[in-house]
Amino acid sequence: MMRLAVIGTGYVGLVSGACFAEKGHTVVCVDVDPAKVAMVNCCKPPIYEDGLQELLDRNVPARLSATTDLREAILTSDVSLIAVGTPFDGEEIDLSYIVGASQQIGRALAAHEGWHTVIVKSTVVPGTTEDVVLPILERESGRRAGHDFGVGMNPEFLKEGEAIADFMSPDRIVIGGIDERSIRVQRELYQVFPEVAMLETTPRTAEMIKYTANSLLATLISFSNEIGNLSAAIGVDVAEAMRGVHLDKRLTPFSGNGDRVKPGLLTYLAAGCGFGGSCFPKDVKALVAHGRRAGASMDLLQSVIEVNRRQPGKMIDLLRRTRSDLNGARISVLGVAFKPGTDDVRESPSLSVIQSLIDMGALVTVYDPVAQHEAERLFGSSIAYAATLAEAVSNADAILVMTAWPEFRQLPLLIERQVRTPFVIDGRRILDKFSVPAYAGIGLPFAG
Ligand code: NAD
């Protein structure tokens, strides 16, 4: 078992740290935010993720702790994982957190007495580990990568909302290393996942695998949305059209006994009000910028971004077909999180829709089972907040379903029980289109 320091205690850092601790490694999570650190040490998850509370309960403090003291964490560990944020700054990937963490790690490495391997887990554009992180580590430590310490790149593929399950049962583990020893250390780290396919490669290829995977999934979503918008315009329900497409065995293969296997890919081949989150939007933009700098045109991925930028606006378009003047209209927005199972609202399509509604003078009420506090933080008293789904539904002229929370499937039942009949606009196509009296959805011809 290894001693591990995880730098950055966010969605990826904390989940990785808690899961590695659960598997038996000794983990110290580092963050610059003392509030997060204090919460972890008190067994309180600073983020919402199913199963995280139980992992903290079982592993803090015996195998999992948190600190703001990065130097001490490095000096007492064999491996460090860099899991800090890598936002998009409007022009290109913002590596400032990566640079800051690398400088601190490098300074600590100068005093490290044993062998230490630094592994980049954050999503970084190809070349970053070898061309940015490694030189900083060497400069700050006065030591040589490959001779005095190891350097690796291990992208993370977990999905928010299912992060613990994904980390504990990953589809694959990708490990890139600058040399055989850097690969071997990561192999040892992941020995606790013996069943999982492991791909060993260079840091640059590991970085590229992550961007390629995210860009493909984002492309499927924007493709589905473009087809959905066309379908609605020409009198076709995209959900039915996609059902026919999904029957292709290359998309939904049969298992040996003739049953369809889990149609994971099809989640991404479905029209909706657009993708959000902390990864797809920024990662596709960063790859486009990086690709252009390398001389590639990146036209397809640029269009993926553009289709997605416009997609939340389709919800407003649909709403305005039910009522052209939204001034004074009572609109309930269901869902603020960018997807179900998380309280993360970064780049959530819901945010731009709420802002447009406020700008048009609508009286907005928001309900989200776990991300409500984020809406309160962002919109304050300019909108109202419902404590329950039932409260959000009562009194609304129209209801916009922005997040596919399972709870929202109760809408037909709640609407049936009340006298008012709100117009339901389904941005995630989670409801049967005949289950409520007045229904409109993305990718569905508008019936009025
Ligand atoms: P996050 O913003 O939730 O967490 C990053 C944390 O790093 C913050 O708590 C911040 O305070 C801390 N930090 C910044 N600089 C630091 C420093 N010098 N020392 C210690 N802590 C520092 O970010 P996240 O969502 O966990 O993403 C982290 C990386 O993982 C990103 O590159 C992201 O693209 C990638 N990723 C994210 C997901 C996801 O679903 N969120 C999935 C796969 C990969």
Do 152 and 276 reside in the same domain of the chain? no
347 lines ligand 1 (CB under 6 A): no
Do 351 and 250 reside in the same domain of the chain? yes
* 8 CA → ligand 1 middle, Å: 6
- Percentage of residues of the chain with pLDDT beyond 90: 92
Do 223 and 342 reside in the same domain of the chain? yes
Here the tokens at position 96 are 């400032």
Across 276-281, average pLDDT:
95
Whether 279 sits among the annotated catalytic residues: the reply is: yes
Q: Comparing C-alpha atoms, which of 291, 242, 287 is closest to residue 444?
A: 242
Nearest ligand 1 atom to the CA of 11 is: 26
Q: Which residue has the tokens 């997807």?
A: 339
Query: Which of the residues 19, 29, 273, 279 is marked catalytic?
Result: 279
* 86 CA → ligand 1 middle, Å: 7
176 lines ligand 1 (CB under 6 A): no
83 lines ligand 1 (CB under 6 A): yes
pLDDT recorded at residue 33: 98
207 lines ligand 1 (CB under 6 A): no
pLDDT tens figures, 314-349: 999 999 999 999 999 999 999 999 999 999 999 999
Do 225 and 125 reside in the same domain of the chain? no
pLDDT tens figures, 191-217: 999 999 999 999 999 999 999 999 999
Is the confidence at residue 105, as pLDDT, over 80? yes
Do 146 and 291 reside in the same domain of the chain? no
12 lines ligand 1 (CB under 6 A): yes
Tell which phi-psi region holds residue 261, choosing left (phi > 0), alpha (psi between -120 and 50) or beta: beta
pLDDT recorded at residue 137: 98
438 lines ligand 1 (CB under 6 A): no
- Please give the full DSSP string across 197-234, using - where no structure is assigned: EEEEE-HHHHHHHHHHHHHHHHHHHHHHHHHHHHHHHT
pLDDT recorded at residue 262: 62
Here the tokens at position 288 are 């486009």
* 6 close to 25: Cβ distance less than 8 angstroms: no
pLDDT tens figures, 302-315: 999 999 999 999 99
Q: Among 6, 7, 11, which is best to mutate for testing ligand 1, by the most ligand atoms less than 8 A from CB?
A: 11
Report CA torsion sign: 113, 117, 120, 126. positive
Here the tokens at position 403 are 């997040």
Across 377-383, average pLDDT:
97
Mean pLDDT of the chain: 95
- Distance between CA 445 and CA 443 in Å, rounded? 7
Across 360-371, average pLDDT:
97
Which of 201, 229, 245 is where one domain is finished? 201
Distance of CA 199 to the CA centre of its chain: 23
Is the confidence at residue 264, as pLDDT, over 60? no
Do 275 and 302 reside in the same domain of the chain? yes
Q: Comparing C-alpha atoms, which of 90, 99, 87 is closest to residue 289?
A: 90
* 321 close to 386: Cβ distance less than 8 angstroms: no
Pairing mode, if any, of strands 117-120 and 423-426? unpaired
Domain around 338: 202-448
Nearest ligand 1 atom to the CA of 47 is: 3
* 343 CA → ligand 1 middle, Å: 15
Do 170 and 235 reside in the same domain of the chain? no
User: ∠ CA 242-243-249 to the nearest 5 degrees?
Assistant: 100
* 123 CA → ligand 1 middle, Å: 9
Residue nearest to atom 41 of ligand 1 (CA): 11
Q: How many CA atoms lie within 13 A of 443 on its CB side?
A: 26
* 325 CA → ligand 1 middle, Å: 42
Across 271-295, average pLDDT:
97
Across 254-278, average pLDDT:
77
* 346 close to 379: Cβ distance less than 8 angstroms: no
* 94 CA → ligand 1 middle, Å: 12
Do 404 and 304 reside in the same domain of the chain? yes
Do 48 and 104 reside in the same domain of the chain? yes
Do 212 and 150 reside in the same domain of the chain? no
219 lines ligand 1 (CB under 6 A): no
30 lines ligand 1 (CB under 6 A): yes
Do 234 and 296 reside in the same domain of the chain? yes
- Distance between CA 285 and CA 280 in Å, rounded? 8
Residue 151 per-residue DSSP state: E
Q: Among 6, 30, 31, which is best to mutate for testing ligand 1, by the most ligand atoms less than 8 A from CB?
A: 31
pLDDT tens figures, 18-75: 999 999 999 999 999 999 999 999 999 999 899 999 999 999 999 999 999 999 999 9
> Residue 201: what residue type?
T
Query: How many folded domains does the chain comprise?
Result: 2
- Distance between CA 227 and CA 246 in Å, rounded? 14
106 lines ligand 1 (CB under 6 A): no
Residue nearest to atom 1 of ligand 1 (CA): 10
Is the confidence at residue 94, as pLDDT, over 70? yes
* Reported confidence tier of residue 250, pLDDT bands at 50, 70, 90: confident
383 lines ligand 1 (CB under 6 A): no
pLDDT recorded at residue 265: 62
Q: Which residue has the tokens 């039942």?
A: 413
Do 307 and 418 reside in the same domain of the chain? yes
* 99 CA → ligand 1 middle, Å: 13
Distance of CA 34 to the CA centre of its chain: 24
Across 394-413, average pLDDT:
97
* Reported confidence tier of residue 251, pLDDT bands at 50, 70, 90: confident
pLDDT recorded at residue 133: 98
pLDDT recorded at residue 145: 98
Other beta carbons within 10 angstroms of residue 447's beta carbon come to: 9
Is the confidence at residue 448, as pLDDT, over 70? yes
Which of 201, 223, 247 is where one domain is finished? 201
Which of 201, 227, 256 is where one domain is finished? 201
DSSP-based three-state secondary structure for 101 = helix
CATH of the domain at 68: 3.40.50.720
pLDDT recorded at residue 447: 85
